[in-house]
Amino acid sequence: MVRTPHPELRRLALLAVFALAFVASSGVAQRPLVLEGRIPPDAPDGVAVEARIGTDLQGILSEPVATSAVEAGRFRLELPAAVDAELLEAETVDCARERTIDAVFLPHLTLVLDDEAVGRLVHTDVPRELWGYAGPPRSASWAYTPDTLAVDESCGAERLDLSFVPGWNPFVVLAGADATTVTTDDPPASFRWVFLPATE
């Protein structure tokens, strides 16, 4: 004789399956990110920190995706787990420029005082006097993507060691004497937030 499970047990089992599926899918779908640090002493007092994402077509967007007050000289900025899909653009990430991810970038953090941008925070370990026209030769930014893609190849003197997962990913450029590595590994522990005034 086959025994039929009690209806309440069947309902609980079904709920458990749905709950596990939701946890699994949400774990794969997005990866949030928290950025924190100390405001450099040469930055103005009373600033707030904003995350303003950038796109190729629209530049840096004026509406932030996250904002943090500064307390005792420190900030903690929690980026959203998802970004509006309409903002995403196809970005090439390989030497042949054939493989793409849909993404937006957070190239730096914006410092705001009385609703006006007064400068930005750049994550690097290179003193400002050694920066080139395009900024420091070693720096960290962040990319948001819903995609998964790995790239491991060299383009002349540039090495790509990228492993994008859905959500926020570090995008770290490490220029050396002979070669430059671009990676999605966490930034080196030597990196700090450097203030660049809006006038520069």
Structure confidence at residue 161 as a pLDDT band (50, 70, 90):
very high
Distance CA 127, CA 125 (A): 7
SS3 20: helix
Structure tokens of 28? 């794969």
Q: In this structure, what DSSP letter does residue 92 have? A: E
Six token digits for residue 12: 């609980």
Residue type, 58: Q
**Under a CB-based contact definition with an 8 Å cutoff, are residues 94 and 160 in contact?**
yes
Going by pLDDT thresholds of 50, 70 and 90, the confidence category of residue 57 is low
What is the pTM (predicted TM-score) of this model? Answer: 0.81
Between CA 151 and CA 174 the distance in angstroms is 16
**Whole-angstrom Cα distance, residue 106 to residue 130?**
22
Confidence tier at 23 by pLDDT (50, 70, 90): very low
Report the pLDDT averaged over residues 143-150.
96
